[in-house]
Amino acid sequence: MTEKEKMQAGQTYSAVDPDLVRELNEVKEKIREYNDLRPSDKPAQRKLLKTLLGHIADDEVLIIQPFYCDYGQQISVGRRFFANFNFTVLDEAQVTIGDDCFIGPNVSIYTACHSTDPTERNTRQEWARPVRIGNNVWIGGSATILPGVTVGDNVTIGAGSVVTRDIPSNSIAVGNPCRVVKTIM
């Protein structure tokens, strides 16, 4: 298996593999191009996002600049997706976001995992776990979604929350670590 195939399969892989580093740099060039587009040029933004992201459900997607990601092709967004500025996605694994999701400013979604052992970590070996976000989700500003988390449908994540575990559908969840404080519907 290539290092990319290992990464996509959730296996340990070399984060400094030359092919992966080359791909990261190519994506960074596209990200720079996207972030340098005029904010009023929505058609050019959508056109570039369609080449950058793995799946966009419709033309109503709006990601306010600046936006950052690692690979892009591992990101799938549903209909009427909106993300405010400084949306950051480390998409070493799949990141799937449903319909009618709203992402506040400075939100980060991480899939990359690193060893807590410094010797292992210094080998630059890592692995990744997918993140899934359901439909009708609002993630408040400066929230962080960690690897392997699933957020259900009809969920609100409070600003500044650090989501370390799954959040069930029809919930309001807040805090660090994020926890359900109210069930709705």
How do the domains of the chain map onto residue ranges? Answer: 3-183
Q: What is the signed CA dihedral for 28, 21, 69, 59, rounded to 10 degrees?
A: 70
Is 114 an annotated catalytic residue?
A: yes
Which element (helix H / strand E) includes 171? strand 171-174
At the fourth CATH level, the homologous superfamily of domain 3-183 is Hexapeptide repeat proteins (2.160.10.10)
Q: Provide the 10 A C-beta neighbour count for residue 49.
A: 21
Model-level pTM? 0.96
- Among the options 114, 121, 165, 182, which is catalytic? 114
> From first to last of its 185 residues, what are the pLDDT tens digits of the chain?
999 999 999 999 999 999 999 999 999 999 999 999 999 999 999 999 999 999 999 889 999 999 999 999 999 999 999 999 999 999 999 999 999 999 999 999 999 999 999 999 999 999 999 999 999 999 999 999 999 999 999 999 999 999 999 999 999 999 999 999 999 97
Q: Do residues 132 and 150 touch, judged by C-beta distance below 8 A?
A: yes
Contacts of 108 (CB under 8 A, 6+ apart): 88, 89, 90, 143, 144, 145
